[in-house]
Structure formats: C-alpha cells, structure tokens
Structure 1
C-alpha cells in the first residue's frame, strides 16, 4: 500500500531528475529510478488517485452484486469441478441488458409503445442474425405485445423462432407468455405440455403466474377438477398459496352454482395466508349478489377493509368495478378517496389510469359530464402519471356527447403532463369537429397530425378514410381528392373503403367522369368492389344512360380476381 501511495505521489509531482531521465534509461530499467518507470506505465490507466479509487469501489460493488462462481461454493478451498457439458444453459441475467443490447431493447420498446408491432417484431428478429443479438427480455417484450393484441399465433411463432431456432435461452416469463397464449386460444392440453416441459427440462421451476394461466385455462374449458388437481400439485411442490389461483377456482365454482365449495376454498386460503389479494372478496361479493344475498356481500367487503391490507391499484380497481356494477356509488367513492390518500409514488402505487377510467366512465353513464372532468383532475397527495389512453378515454366520451370545447381543453393539457397524443386522440377530435360542422378545424387537426416529423403518431388508412367520409358528407369532395393524392407520400395505399367513399361522393355530385376514372384505377389495383357499391354504381350510371361502359368495366374487373372474389367484383 505504501508503494502505491509513493507511485501516485510521484505521478502528481515528478522530480526534476526523473523528468530529465532519457527514455532509454527508463526502458533499460535504471535501478536508481524504479518508481518513475512504474508510475509512467500506470499513468496510462488512471489519470488521478481519485479515478483509481473510484475504479476499486466499482469493482468491489460489482463483486457484491454478482459474486464470482467460486464464492458461491460451500468450501472455497475445494478443487474446482470441471464444467459439465450436459448442464442446461441459463437464460440471460439483467446484467446482459447493457450497451448496444440495451439500445436495441429500448428501440423495440419504442416501436411497441407506438403500436407498430410488426416493425418491433422485425427489428428483434433481424437482430438475431447480427452481432448484437437480442436478450431474452427483448424477445419477451415482443411476444407480450402480440399477446396483448390477441395475435396468439404470432406469439407461438415468435417463441419457436427465438428460442427453438435461434438458440436464445427462454426464462420463466417466456414460458408463461406461451402458456397464456395457448390457454387463450383454447389449446389447454398444449399449454399443459409446455408446463411439463418446464418441469422436465428447464433449469428453473414454474412460477405462480404459470399456475394462474393454467388454472384459468382449465376452468374456462370446464375442466375444473383438473384445475383443482393442479392447485394441489402447486402446493405439494412447495409453492405458496397464490390467492389469484384460489380466486380463479372460487369463481369457477360460483359460476357453476357451488357457493359452498367456493367458501371452503376461501377458508383454506385464509388458513394458509395471513395476507392475500382482495380480488378474492370481489369474487365472493359477486357470488353473494347472484344469490340475492346483499347483506352478506357488503359484510364480506367490510371484513376486507377491517383487515387493513395495503392493496395494489389492480385490486382496488376490481373492487371499485364490482361496487359500481351493483350501484354502491358511495362505497366506491370512499374507496377512490382512500386510494388518492395512499398514492405515494414511488414508494407505493395505490392507483393508476384505470382507476380514473372507471370513475370517469361511471360519471358519463350517469350523465354527470362536469363531475367526470372534476374526477379526472383529482390528484390527491401526489398526482398519478396519466397516459395517452386515459386522456383518450375522456376526450372520446366528451366528443361523443357534443362537448368538443372541453375535449380541446384537455387536448391542450397533454403536453404539460408529458403525454403525446396518438392517432386515436386526433381521430376523436376530427370526429367531433365534423359532428359540430367545424370542417376547417378538422382539416387543421389532420394536417397537424400528418405533418409531424419524428415521433409523430402512426397514421393508417382508417384515419384517412375518416377524413374522406367527413369531407364528402360536408360536400367537399375536392378537398378529399387532394388528400387522397398525397397518401403515397406517407407510404400508404388506399383500400376499397377509400375508393368507394370517393367514387360515391363524385357520383352524387354528378361528376361521373372522375368517378369512373377513380373506379378504373381501383380495378387496375385489383381491389374488389363491395356488392353495395356495385349496385349503387350500376343504378347511377344507368340513370345517366351510361350503363354499358360501367358494365364493361365490371366485366373486365371480374377476370382480375380469383374465383372466390369474382362474386364481389362482378
């Protein structure tokens, strides 16, 4: 240690003699100057003593977080065993999600948040063949986004590609996403095969989430006895009594009219767990209400409050939904106030945007629009972080109820809360403007959306069709055609709805020549005409004495489609 301090002092204050020493003497190793030579070599690693000390602290901290493998052996003096070539490979740890692989993960997550799932999937799949391979966390993010979008077959295909073909090691979350997709698709036996594969081959055990998905799949398939057997297997394997697994089985028995069996499971859960999820009480309350036992339902709810559990946002949301469903508005308001008081992020998340959506929707259901705005602006001790979906929920309902000005005020609040509007937000405002006859404002919102550069919401053909329909109904077919001509600039191709809206609008205005040209363009693009538009066009051109040319056009279009589409085109 004293030698190190001497070297560092020499680096900071080199003596005049050492500074004039020839380089050849240093290389030859002059016995009179060893400290300077060593200091010169060390100066290339650290520029100061503070940097060297920081590096030592970083390495010690790294060893505490991820100790070396020999530190995990019971006897550190025992000889190290040779690696087992047959040992199963382990999935990535969180330490792998750094550097370029973290940048890839963030890029994929940004695409998922923007709703462009196909691009997110393509980015992750292409990275498999590059030097920056995705981690299991990136693969799971893509699969989970497909599951949320109900693209269940894509989940199975992505699991096979990432983990079977590309040799990425799955973790328990990967298997849970696959099991969930199979259960939602009604393939419960396949999901059970995946579960047995985990038991036989995976280097980890199934989690409680695994049993939640499997029990729900079995109950939904009317195989409740097998679900009970799986519950016993979960307990026998040493897993804790998961309250959501019990809740699924209780709901299954209640739906089948066996309330006594559900109460037996509830009693067993309370014996095994001092603290459990309050969703179980919501299930019991539903069971009591189905049997007309209103007093028992509220007693069950009160017994939950008496336990003074610190309930998560999802649990409270389920309770609020149950209370509102059965006209217990007073109790729901009290629970909402309780959630506002307990919401102290980041230490505890007592509410989320779904909480606001439930309360706002109830206000609209009761026709109390101003109360909905008041609820939306309630913050409590610490404001809840709003997302675009929460804003869209209330903006859409305001536009539906002819409260466009209030919706626009909320739209103007979004940037101040770091929330970026998406295509749905603009869609609600455009619909509201057309409904109020404010065509110029609808065009302004549309231009604002499509002219935004990087980070702009993804515009699809459906949004363009919304504009075409509104402009045609407002008698502005020329404006619609102008927007139609610019679709290619954003890489979008019109579909059959786009063409039919414009062709119908042109024909109603009497511009049959332009309508026929657009219809011919539609036929050249091999886009089938719907039976409704087919009949309308034949009738319109027949009245103008031009039915022969439209019939020839439809006859020619019939040969452009396979037999299964010819009945639509002809």
Structure 2
C-alpha cells in the first residue's frame, strides 16, 4: 500500500494541468473545403482519377527509379478525346455547325485560321471538315486540307485522317496513291490500319478493275491478324459477281461464314441485287430467306440495305414484312433495330407510289408496336417528312409536321427551315417565306450565302426588298453575321427601288461590323445617293472604313488549295 500513498502525496503537491479541449482529438483539417463531406468527395475523385489515369511512376517496377529519358525520335501520338474540351470543343462545335449549314468554305476558313491561334484545332475537327469536303465530292480540297493540317500545321493525324485521305484518292481513281498512304501507315504510324482502311482500298481496287490486287490485300489483312471483315469480303464478292464469276463469289462467301459465326447481312443484299438484275428473283429471295433463317439480330445499317434492295426491285410484301419485324425487334435500350433512315425508306416509297396517307400512317408507327419499346423520332426523320410534303406542294401538312417537331422538344435545323422557305417561294407565298426566314434567324442558325442570296433575290423580284433589309438587320444582331454578299444583293435592290433610308441603315451596319464595299457596290451607292442629292451623306459613310473590301469568308466554290 505504501507506493500508492506516495503517489497520492505526489499528486496532491503537483496537481495535473487542466485537460485540453477535446477538439485536439479531431483530425487536423485545412480550410480548402467548406465541409468534411466536400473534402471526402475530393479525395474520392482523386482516387478515381488515379485508377483511370495512373501516374507514370506507378507503371514502372521500381517507383524510386528516375523516369527514363524521352526518346526524341519516338512518334508523336494523335489527340485523344480528352483534348476536345473547353475552347477547342467550342471551336469544334462551331465548325460542325457550319458544316451542317452546308457552308464548307466558311468551316474550312475557321478551322484553318485557328491553327495560327492559341486554340488550335484537334484532329477530330480537322477530320470533320476533310470528311465533309469528301462527301461534297470536293476531292482536291480534301487533299489540300489534309496537307495543310497534318503536314504543314504539325497536327498529328489518326487512323480516321488517313482513311479519309485513302477514300478520297480511291474515289478519284488514284488507287496507287491510296496504297502509298496505306504503306506509310504500316511503316511509320504508331497504330495499325483499321478494317475501314481495307474497305476503302479493296473497293478502290475493285472499281478500277484490279480485283486480283484486292484479293491479295484481303490475304494480307488476314495474315496481319485482322478479323474477317464482312464489308471487305463484300467488296470482293461484288467485284466477282459483276465479272460474272458466281463460283468465286460463293467461295469467298463460304470462307466468310467459316471465319465468322455472325456476318453482316449486306453480303446477302449484294447477292440479292445481282440475282434480281439477272431476272432470277427466286434465287434472290432464297438468299434472303437463308439470312432470315440464321435469326441474326441485325442493326439498322444492315436491315436498311436489305429493305432498300427489296423496295428497289418491287418486293413490297417482303419489304413491309421486314419493316414490321424490325419494329418488333426494337427493344431499347437492350437492342435498337430501327432508326430514322428505316422510316425514311418506307415513307419515301409511299410518296413515290402516290400513297400520301399511307406515308403519314407509316411515319406514325413510331412507338405504336409496344408502349414499352417506343422509337423516338429524331430531327432527320421529321425533316424527311417536311421535305416530301413540300416537294408535293402540301405546305400546310409540312408546316404541321414542323410544329410537331418543335413540340417534341427538338430543335429544327437548317434543312427544316430551308425546305419550308423554298416551298413557300415556289408557291409564291412570299409573306410566309419572310416569316419563316425570321424564325430561322431567331433560332441563331447559320444562313449560307448561296441560300440567303437566292431567297433575297426572289423577294426583291416581288417588291419585298424592305423585308429583306429587316431580315439582314435581324441577322446582324445574332452570333452568325450575314455574309457580305448578302448586304450587296439587298443594297442594290434598295437602290433600284429608291429606298435610300433603308439602304443608309444597312450601310451603317456594314460600317459597324467592319465590312468593306466592293467597287461595284460603291459605284451603285454613289450613283443612287448622288441622283437623290445625298452625295455628301454617302461619301461620309463610305469613307468611314479606311480599308478596302476584305470578304469575311471566301466566295462559294472558291479554291482552298492556296
């Protein structure tokens, strides 16, 4: 007991210090976050990012070892999708909006000028404008843009870039140049050619009568370990069928079925079309039945090709049966069996046969097969109905579809408005055309110079120049400013009608936005205002700009190869 007494005596002479606040037991936290929950969320985010993108030292066996020196001769890699953010994404969207408005020259100028700015385009932006040039059959411009972006501007191309170039060369008949690009990929690129590369090359070789070279390329593709691509085989099968060599085509088809448990039904469509052309309808339908017996779940890209062949050769019962079958198979989100192109094929066939009511009934079949498997029609499907109605002069019905499109929380695009505007002009309903044009401008859509000038010229012929001036004024307030040529067309119309006050307002807009005057426009304005005794006024306005006319965008069809 004695030690305990000593301890008590010691504690009485030396009392313990007051205990600190219990907060010392809490973990130390900085004030970088407003709450502990926010800090925990940040830690989870960092851990998740490290799992997705581990640091380079984590990939080395010895984390303490210094990183290896970078090889200056190592090939640079193309942009990944993570580069398409911020200002570069905004640039990409702007170029895409110009492409969708069919203003390829302006899209090219915007993309090319951005290479000299801080916001350089990604490879995806470059590919988009090159592919749009190819689709417009402006092959020289597509090749020139590839040269500018990837050889002059030091942007690293990816396999899609090379595929666009190969496809362009092949469509121009320069298959050997396409093969040179292919060899360059094999020898120098940090990636391998894709199946799309072989599709373009084999199609180009077959189209130029070099089917033996295409066959060798197919063997090379298989020898390099690539999978048996159905569309590559299809190119060769189609080539042999066109040569009348049915036996070789069937041998290739058997080889494809031996290599793939599931193949693309486009191959059957190729056989069907060849049989139909030969007048062997029974064998064509047998090929079609053999495909159905395999019970493949076909994606719309395949099913639409089969539908197109059946409709083209008058097999209406089989086509409608297949359409109904596709609607039954459509079980989103598990499987998508139809798209807007599917409906467009059937609707267009109805319009072609003059069955207008049946076309609308077909369009309304969206989502009627089952309440749990609806297909949500997109803008392209609505646009097709609007265009077809306008082609047949049924503008009331076309506008009704347009209103339905807007009621579905979808945004009409350039095609939607252009179809109705052109339909109204054709029907001489000019006031309706003006109203629709104002709606198009209010939607902040890009008005291509060729389309805008065409509408303005038609309205000016019908004494509606003042309405054109109001449209231009409205356009100048939007993000997408009118092309300088639009001002010239409208100003000349106003001068011819002696509407100089409206012309003066447009001139002020041109000066405000830094748009110069062509010599032709300057002469017209000087003459018209001079005859009205307002020469001093026009001289003051014209001299407000100290530089000459510099077009904001190149004229339509201008060469981009300089």
Conservation of the 8 A alpha-carbon contact between 1:422 and 1:457: no
Distance in 2, matches of 1:459 and 1:310, equals 42
2:33 match: 46
- 1:142 and 2:129 correspond: yes
Conserved? CA contact 1:400–1:432, under 8 Å: yes
Asked whether the equivalents of residues 246 and 269 of structure 1 are also in contact (C-alpha less than 8 Å), the reply is: yes
Q: CA deviation at 1:459?
A: 4.8
Q: 2:447 maps to which residue?
A: 458
Shift in Å at residue 495 of structure 1? Answer: 11
State whether structure 2 residue 104 is matched by structure 1 residue 117: yes
Q: Deviations over 1:376-411 (max 9, x none)?
A: 122134444444443332222222323222112111
Is the alpha carbon distance of 1:202 and 1:225 closer, same or farther for their aligned partners in structure 2, counting shifts above 3 Å? same
1:408 pairs with 2:408: no
Q: Distance in 1 between matches of 2:170 and 2:79?
A: 26
Of the three residues 426, 436, 440, the one matched with 1:445 is 436
SS in structure 2 at match of 1:394? helix
Q: What is the alpha-carbon distance in structure 2 between the residues aligned to residue 109 and residue 522 of structure 1?
A: 30
Contact preservation (8 Å) 2:92, 2:121: yes
Change (3 A) 1:435 1:147: closer
Distance 2:224 2:442 in 1: 55
Contact 1:427 1:463 in 2 (8 A): no
SS of aligned partner of 1:414? helix
**Whole-angstrom CA distance in 1 between matches of 2:80 and 2:438:** 46
Q: Tell me the TM-score normalised to structure 2 length.
A: 0.75
Cα deviation for residue 365 of structure 1 reads 1.3
Residues 80, 43 of structure 1: alpha-carbon distance in 2 compared, 3 angstrom cutoff: closer
- Tell me how far apart the structure 1 counterparts of residues 147 and 426 of structure 2 sit (CA, whole Å): 48
Contact 2:456–2:490 (CA under 8 A) maintained in structure 1: no
- Secondary structure at 1:90 match in 2: coil
Higher relative contact order (CA 8 A, sep 6+): 2
1:62 aligns with 2:49: yes
CA distance in 1, matches of 2:158, 2:484: 39
- 1:67-117 CA deviation, whole Å, 9 max, x = no partner? 334554578798864332222112222233333333333333333333333
Residue among 84, 87, 104 paired with 2:74: 87
* Whole-angstrom distance in 2 between the partners of 1:446 and 1:375: 30
Which residues of 2 match residues 508-519 of structure 1 at below 5 A? Answer: none
Partner of 2:384: 393
Tell whether 2:91 aligns with 1:99.
no
Residues 323 and 217 of structure 1, relative CA distance in 2, 3 Å threshold: same
Q: Choose the corresponding residue for 2:341, options 345, 349, 354.
A: 354
Which stretch shifts more, 232-241 or 74-83? Answer: 74-83
Residues 429 and 445 of structure 1 are in contact (CA less than 8 Å); yes or no, is this contact kept in structure 2?
A: yes
Q: Which residue in the other structure is 1:239 paired with?
A: 226
Distance 1:235 1:149, change over 3 A: same
Shift of 1:17: 6.8
**How many aligned residue pairs are there?**
475
C-alpha separation in 2, matches of 1:57 and 1:494: 55
Structure 1 counterpart of 2:257: 270
What is the match of residue 429 of structure 1? 420
Contact residue 101 and residue 414 of structure 2 kept, 8 A: no
Gapped regions of structure 2 (runs ≥ 5): 1-18, 474-481, 498-516, 524-562
Rounded Cα–Cα distance in structure 1 between residues aligned with 2:322 and 2:63: 55
1:460-484 residue CA offsets vs partner (Å, 9 max, x unmatched): 3445435644775xxxx323x4456
Q: Aligned partners of 1:146 and 1:395: how far apart in 2?
A: 26
Match of 2:553 in 1: none
Distance 1:499 1:320 in 2: 51
Tell me, in whole angstroms, the C-alpha distance in 1 between the residues paired with 2:460 and 2:86: 49
- What does the per-residue CA deviation read over 1:429-453, in whole Å, with 9 as the maximum and x for residues that have no partner? 344445556444344334444xx33
CA gap of 1:526–1:238, structure 2 versus 1, over 3 A, is farther
Give the Cα separation in 2 of the matches to 1:132 and 1:500.
39
8 Å Cα contact 1:247/1:283 also seen in 2: yes
TM-score (norm 1): 0.74
Whole-angstrom CA distance in 2 between matches of 1:51 and 1:478? 65
Aligned to 2:278: 291
User: How far did residue 305 of structure 1 move?
Assistant: 1.1
- Give the alignment partner of residue 485 of structure 2, picking from 482, 487, 493: 493
The DSSP-based 3-state class of the residue aligned with 1:478 is: coil
> Against the structure 1 CA distance between its residues 108 and 496, is the aligned structure 2 distance closer, same or farther, given a 3 Å change threshold?
closer
What is the rounded CA distance, in whole Å, between the counterparts of 1:501 and 1:48 in structure 2? 66
Tell me by how many angstroms 1:190 deviates. Answer: 1.0
Contact kept? 1:461, 1:495, Cα under 8 Å: no
Aligned partner of 1:166 in structure 2 is: 153
* Residues 341 and 184 of structure 1: CA distance in aligned 2, closer, same or farther (over 3 Å): same
Partner in structure 2 of residue 535 of structure 1? none
Cα pair distance change 1:429/1:137, threshold 3 Å? closer
How far off is 1:50 after superposition? 2.3
Q: Is the 8 A contact 1:281 1:300 kept in 2?
A: yes
Answer yes or no: is the 8 Å Cα contact 2:469–2:490 preserved in 1: no
SS at match of 1:493: helix
Cα pair 1:414 1:421 within 8 Å, conserved: yes
Query: 2:235 maps to which residue?
Result: 248
* Alpha carbons 1:461, 1:492 under 8 Å: kept: no
Question: Does the 8 Å CA contact 2:97/2:446 hold for their aligned counterparts?
Answer: no
Match of 2:533 in 1: none
Distance 1:350 1:289, change over 3 A: same
Q: 1:307 aligns with which of 262, 287, 294?
A: 294
Matched residue SS, 1:110: helix
**Kept after mapping to 2: 8 A contact 1:219/1:249:** yes
Q: Is the 8 A contact 1:112 1:145 kept in 2?
A: yes
Structure 2 distance, partners of 1:18, 1:131, is 54
Cα distance, 1:525 vs. partner? 5.8
Which segments of 5 or more consecutive residues in structure 1 lack a partner in the other structure? 1-14, 20-32, 506-520, 528-570
Give runs of aligned pairs for residues 530-541 of structure 1, distance below 5 A: none
Aligned CA distance change for structure 1 residues 407 and 190 (closer, same or farther; 3 Å): same
